[in-house]
Structure 1
């Protein structure tokens, strides 16, 4: 594996060592003078580059990020296997959060490590800290006489400045999709003595700002493919993909005509404009036309093989078995606590290998063999790459998630509550006896997302889906391993209506990007959460009778979703100390 060359990981390790040696703090924003970090005599730019690494380190790794769970366990794709009160992801799912107590691991406004108290380790968690630190780079990097640059004449210092601007735009994007309009700070680095009673900018202004930043910096960033040591860095393609993602969010129903507070410019546009879909489609097409990225031939390798052609922007992780330790099935010597319990709803979303949904009588699906363990008609290969189910091959054994089975012993041991375990992101351990280290990088932007964004935006911009909409779905389904079929339609119905294609695209987002922090936000931006997330989440209780199984549906969690939950609450502390900081509706 090549993660040993990853500079963010190296920086974090070195920072801990240097902190122990009392040379200086890990993140020298307030502890080290600026002319030390941004030294006009440092032609190698070592200190400035280390500071830039620290801004990259504020980007989140999504694996078991929210109190030990995946964020999508607060969607309809999974529930937490943890029991008891105070499980962060369950609090979000059941509307048991307020502006006072929103879980810190998903409270990216305040974070839980903002002030870096004495003895604290790791980067600050607030994205406002990320924006401030990015501004420090933007304002000061020009004095560093670092050598080198790009063939187009962009100096290395200018490249680093553009990387900081990209990170700032990314932090803003993550805040905007959670909170709506937020204060736009410009390039100013605010200090405690400054007037901090800033108002929120409108949603429209925030989207415009992010898009303009991406346009301004794209030609002063490095271009993919990049060297192994640079696999974490922002590239031209990353800036363009972030622009497309931002415009897709802006065009989506929640913000484009579906504003939850009619006429409030902080919570979305105050009108509908179909041209927003056209802009999103064009931005995605611009990434496609780079001819830089392609779908990796193997769906599982996308997450395990570093520097593959599908990755656009990542948050690097260590070589580790932590994903398996946290999410692997119980009952094996290799270990695993099964934190994530996928739902029956997610399982049913995967079609058969012929591309037809399991509800289609022609699909070959058998209720008596729902996971196609014995049947000749198999499920979409992404199902096997995403879910561990009863009868699946794992650790040179067969999964037993029936009642009393080795992976569902019904003891006090934490275990699946749904009858399923998460398989995605784990190594190829089907025939292994134990787990071994592998990459745990978190992919923030990948090429399949660009293709689906283009398909969705094009479908919404036209009266009926055009051929290029179908082509993106064909490409994604072909890579997944779905059979093309006699007509080469990969199980899709020709000449669909816009509404029918919309449903197909939305399901494709779900199964392609399960557990990648898409479903949680997709249900919101499509303004479907009030319908979908007010239904119980279900699983299965499997009873073994000799060689036969009975599959009994069970309710796992009664979730609650109110209209106010489409946006997060501004933390109470912010609204209390700043009279200009307006709270989101309902909070």
Structure 2
């Protein structure tokens, strides 16, 4: 009981912090005198408790996820098969969150809150319990289902792992109950970002789609799961559309529309001047005092995935646009320019001199003027541009971005629909969903109205097309590594090498200005590009000033050495439970494939 009381006191402190700005809380004579009964009889206090569940339950920007895929550089041990026992640590912290959710579910009806308000709190809490269990199940497979508050605390419980199937059933049960009582929208605009009925329905669709995928069904023998997923996606889509959701008019700008009328945003984590993140600084070109060019450094393979403007692949000779590897950015799917920055691109950033002297961004060697340090240049010569707010001043301000993270958006609902429809044999509906996404992207419709999609694709071909579309549409949103895992596609990239460009200046570049300073030469080039006298979109002109080579982005890789190839281990589709959890609970079985493992996560 002592541990329970400590936990309550600690959590009560967080509640007070989360609502301290509210006048009705400040009017209370003695905040330290608040007890558990007060919380469940006061709407502001109860909402503060729920706010802490939101804060820990909603994911933030996935800054490192792309590095565990073929889309970006990353040298973590997981991509090279180097994980050891206890490498993945998600277990204990999530159970602490579940305990607090269970506390709300058990105690909320013990106070004097209005019944409708109680129901609203419970519904949101049930959503987050489902979400957290889903995160545990996708990491480990089945885990112990703790659905009530133990007197002695979760750490002392000795429960065996429930089967994965049982866990999914409980997740769906929680979501169904939440869906029944959640509103389609909230009356108060201040509640924008809270979980709605449509958001819970969309998340249920995601859960069932994952459960139908190869991670949980490698043989794809449980075909009914895809029908369940399709039904859930269809119901979610209908609800969302009925409540004004749909594709945002602008693929590039949807991230900067933080109004309640943004049709694309379904599940979001809100940021503001007091709660910020540093993703912008980590993706932008280096500026003194920041960790620039640290995350989401695109690979050549990712860049090559984008089709031409007519939707046809870069190798398709029937495309109306000729691909040129020297000026690879020309006439591409418009999402290319929205997601990727490259040497000489017009990319307005509010950065200080000398790093930025125009709206052009440079990624050639020695382009980062400070000490002419090549270590400050993105190793792939490509930068992630998605959702980067160039209006934010570079340096320390970029370390405090307030751009909201959209964890689930309407485009992904369409992609869920395409994927599940295809798996149950409805390729026509899959085509329609992909066409909608490509139309919004700005791809040419073509004479057949297919936006570059191959006609008459079979199920396997359509599946490949859908996964490619996800890779492009959802680039740098943490989805590619998740897709590789849930559809067990790591085998298709094992043994491969991620590559990037190395761009060097030529003698013609160095002759642009009479001084020996690279900065002066760069300014001369910028002036020529901006007044139109130098056209870097002309491959002959571009190659006059730059040479381009290809290098390995893998650990120990360079221009002449590939370094370590990708080697994702089969057992990583379900991770091992931490030894600390096994030590505390002798009834827990370790996951099959790991040392001493006996628990089958596919059951």
TM-score (norm 1): 0.80
**Residue 534 of structure 2 corresponds to residue 527 of structure 1:** no
- Cα deviations by residue, 1:188-243 (Å, 9 ceiling, x for unpaired): 34534985111111111111111122112212112137643112211101110111
| Alpha carbons 2:15, 2:52 under 8 Å: kept | no
Partner of 1:316: 270
The aligned residue for residue 115 of structure 1 is none
User: Which residue in the other structure is 2:499 paired with?
Assistant: 538
In the alignment, which residue of structure 1 is the partner of 2:514? none
1:327 to 270, 283, 296: 283
Change over 3 Å in CA distance of 1:407–1:90 after alignment to 2: farther
Deviations 1:245-291 (CA, angstroms, capped at 9, x unpaired): 00000100121244xxxxxxxxxxxx822111111011100011122
CA shift in 2, pair 1:277/1:388, >3 Å: same
CA distance in 2, matches of 1:425, 1:475: 21
In the alignment, which residue of structure 1 is the partner of 2:298?
Answer: 342
Other-structure match for 1:401:
363
The structural deviation recorded for 1:408 is 11
Please give the residue correspondences for 1:24-43 in structure 2 after superposition, counting only pairs within 5 Å: 33-39=35-41, 42=42
Verify: 1:109 aligned to 2:109, yes or no: no
Q: Could you tell me whether the CA contact under 8 Å between 1:371 and 1:389 is conserved in 2?
A: no
**Would the aligned equivalents of 1:323 and 1:440 in 2 still touch at CA under 8 Å?**
no
| Structure 1 unmatched runs, 5+ | 1-7, 26-30, 81-88, 111-125, 148-153, 259-270
Q: Contact 1:338 / 1:415 at 8 angstroms: preserved in 2?
A: yes
Greater mean alpha carbon deviation, residues 237-246 or residues 535-544: 535-544
Q: CA deviation at 1:181?
A: 0.9
Helix, strand or coil: the match of 1:553?
strand
Equivalent positions of 1:234-245 (< 5 A) are: 234-245=195-206
Distance in 1 (alpha carbons) for counterparts of 2:419 and 2:301: 22
Whichever of the two has the greater Rg, that structure is: 2
What is the root-mean-square deviation in Å for CA atoms of aligned residues?
A: 3.3
1:520, 1:407 → 2: CA distance?
34
Contact 2:209 / 2:226 at 8 angstroms: preserved in 1?
Answer: yes
Number of aligned residues? 514
Q: How does 1:232-381 map to 2 (within 5 A)?
A: 232-258=193-219, 272-290=221-239, 291=241, 292=243, 293-306=245-258, 307=260, 308-319=262-273, 322-330=278-286, 337-340=292-295, 341-363=297-319, 364-372=321-329, 375=330, 378-381=331-334
Aligned to 2:67: 73
Kindly indicate whether the alpha-carbon contact (under 8 Å) linking 1:79 and 1:90 is maintained by their aligned counterparts in 2: no
- The question of whether the paired residues in 1 share the 8 Å contact of 2:202 and 2:237 is answered with no
CA change 1:144–1:446 in 2 (3 A) is: farther
Question: Could you tell me which of 400, 421, 445 is aligned with 1:458?
Answer: 421
Alignment map for 1:134-145 (pairs within 5 Å): 134-145=101-112
Decide whether the 8 Å contact of 1:328 with 1:335 is kept in 2. no
**1:58/1:127 contact within 8 Å kept:** no
Q: Deviations over 1:166-186 (max 9, x none)?
A: 111011111111111111112
Note the residue ranges of structure 2 that are not aligned, 5 or more in a row: 1-13, 350-357, 509-541, 555-563, 595-603
Query: What SS does the aligned partner of 2:553 have?
Result: strand
Q: Residue 9 and residue 96 in structure 1: after superposition, are their counterparts in 2 closer, same or farther (change >3 A)?
A: farther
Partner Cα separation in structure 1 for residue 311 and residue 82 of structure 2: 39
Shift of residue 324 of structure 1?
2.2
What residue number does 2:127 align with?
Answer: 166
Displacement after TM superposition at 1:514 (Å): 1.5
**Which runs of structure 2 are paired with 1:35-184 in the superposition (5 Å)?**
35-39=37-41, 42=42, 45-63=43-61, 69-80=63-74, 90-102=76-88, 107-110=89-92, 126-147=93-114, 155-184=116-145
1:514 is aligned to 475
**In structure 2, which of residues 401, 423, 428 is the aligned counterpart of residue 467 of structure 1?**
428
Shift of 1:428: 4.7
Among 429, 443, 452, the alignment partner of 2:406 is: 443
In 2 relative to 1, CA 362–492 (structure 1 residues): closer, same or farther, beyond 3 Å? same
TM-score by length of 2: 0.78
Could you say if the C-alpha distance between residues 408 and 178 of structure 1 is closer, same or farther in structure 2, counting changes exceeding 3 Å?
farther
Q: Is the 8 A contact 2:368 2:376 kept in 1?
A: no
**Higher-helix-fraction structure:** 2
The answer to whether the Cα contact below 8 Å between 2:40 and 2:112 also exists between their aligned partners in 1 is no
